[in-house]
Amino acid sequence: MILLSSKSFITITTLIMLFSISACSDENEATLNNAAEPTKISQQTTSVNSVTNNAIQLPLLDVYKSPTCSCCEKWLDHIDQHGFISKAHNQSNLSSFKKQKGISPQYHSCHTAISTDGYVFEGHVPAKFIHQFLAKPPANAIGLAVPAMPIGTPGMEVGDKFMPYKVILLMADGSYGIYAELTNYQEQF
């Protein structure tokens, strides 16, 4: 068994997060063909469309992501399994897209979801908090963010590891607040 100091653990964890983010970065996208990728619509769309008109329509999230990011695909599975329909759009310039949507760089992650009402959900925000936000959007808010890519968030599962993190409330004037603080894995559901 290898024992690490807390400083070494933090350094290693930071390096892992940086490597994960770089796997989804715009630099990697630039090496890909800039032509638009086909859109992936979740499999749940078919089941929702086949239900009678009396059924509740699940909310749609348009998700803009890098075509090479596997954690984004895992997050799409998470939201599809927790009451949303996802429609994925592969993008070649996510940074400018995020800027256009009002998301400051310090809140960036690997993908951005947009609700039909225009709210933004940046990164690995658990579906639970997206539902809560959409049910009662705070005044002057543009959405929620989970900056970077914390280990243990939906789509970033690594065994039973979990890094406590905050869900950030993004405001239209560029300010922010804390929407939720999560200290364990179960609080996400």
Model confidence pLDDT, tens digit, residues 87-142? 999 988 899 899 999 999 999 999 999 999 999 999 999 999 999 999 999 999 99
Residue 41 has pLDDT above 50, yes or no: no
End-to-end CA distance of the chain: give it in Å, rounded. Answer: 33
Q: Reduced to 3 DSSP states, what percent helix, strand and coil does the chain have, rounded to the nearest 5?
A: 35, 25, 40
Residue 48: the pLDDT is 39
- Using the CB atoms, write b or e for 38-63: b if 16+ within 10 Å: eebebebeeeeeeeeeeeeebebbeb
Residue 55: the pLDDT is 58
Domain annotation covers residue 156: yes
Domain annotation covers residue 1: no
Domain annotation covers residue 134: yes
Boundaries of domain holding 91: 6-30+38-48+57-188
What number is the average pLDDT over the span 4-33?
41
Domain annotation covers residue 44: yes
Domain annotation covers residue 162: yes
Q: How confident is the model at residue 21 (pLDDT cuts 50, 70, 90)?
A: very low
Question: pTM above the 0.75 mark?
Answer: no
Could you give the number of structural domains in the chain? 1
Domain annotation covers residue 65: yes
Give, in degrees to the nearest 5, the angle at Cα 89 between 84 and 93.
130
Which residues lie across from 167 on neighbouring strands?
Answer: 180
Residue 68: the pLDDT is 86
Domain annotation covers residue 63: yes
Domain annotation covers residue 152: yes
Considering the chain, what percentage of its residues have pLDDT values greater than 90? 61
Q: For 77-102, how does the pLDDT look when each residue is reduced to its tens digit (9 = 90+)?
A: 999 999 999 999 998 889 989 999 99
Mean pLDDT across the chain, nearest whole number? 78
What number is the average pLDDT over the span 160-180?
96
Residue 7 has pLDDT above 90, yes or no: no
